[in-house]
Amino acid sequence: MSMVYVALISYTPDPERTIAAAARVSTSPARASQLMQKLSPQAVDRLLSRLISSGHLSPFEHASFTFAIEGISRVTSHQLVRHRMASYTQQSQRYVPLKEFSYITPATISAKREMEAKYHQGVRAAHHLYLEMLDAGIPAEDARYVLPQAGETGLVMTMNGRELIHVCSLRLCLRAQWEIVELFEKVKAEVEKVAPHLGAELKPKCYRLGYCDEAESCGIFPIAVEMGERR
């Protein structure tokens, strides 16, 4: 089971108006500060829709969002940091001795009682050896080598609006791994609270493409080859 926790702890004030004002600067003699004051909510919404439909996403980089993330496995954090247009600060196993070891158990393992028992036994044995190493004077930075990737971790993540659109287009795909899908579903929910138009655009890429560009579809949209056959 995963108990992913996500909280939006900081963000660009009035993020959607900031995006709209930044976009309008390129075609207006007015200053950005003036545009921030003059743009009506309706004008902001219309402009964001045009930016999205035209694929002109660079203005979305002017809105930044910082999240506190807890309760994910190191399996998922390793996937997460592959998205390099972002900033991460993660709890260090080098400096934080893990006297207690919380970890994630996938549902597919829990569904098989015999395997689940062996799984828990293996994880606990690894943690017990880790504690023995610490007691023997081995530094935490070396003892941690024995810890499994199932271990829970926490981090702070900052992404701009454009990168959020990109990452969610990949990680909200139903064929992505279950834990990272859950993570970005909660990221999306947090963004929707302060930037509903942007939040609505955090979705799998197939919704924009109108087809699945993977080798195999989850079923929401057909793959590109099937689209061609239908035509």
Residues annotated as part of the active site: 171
Closest alpha carbon to 157 in 4, 17, 15: 4
Report how far residue 139's alpha carbon sits from residue 129's, in angstroms, rounded to the nearest whole number. Answer: 13
| Sequence-distant contacts of 74-78: CB under 8 A, at least 24 apart | 74/149, 74/150, 74/151, 74/153, 75/104, 75/149, 75/150, 75/177, 75/179, 76/177, 76/179, 76/180, 76/183, 77/153, 77/155, 78/149
Directed axis angle between helix 178-194 and helix 161-171, to 10°?
150
Can you say whether residue 16 is alpha, beta or left, with left for phi > 0 and alpha for psi between -120 and 50 degrees? Answer: alpha
Task: Say how far apart CA 221 and CA 231 lie, in whole Å.
Answer: 15
Q: Which residue, 132, 191, 127, is CA-closest to 163?
A: 191
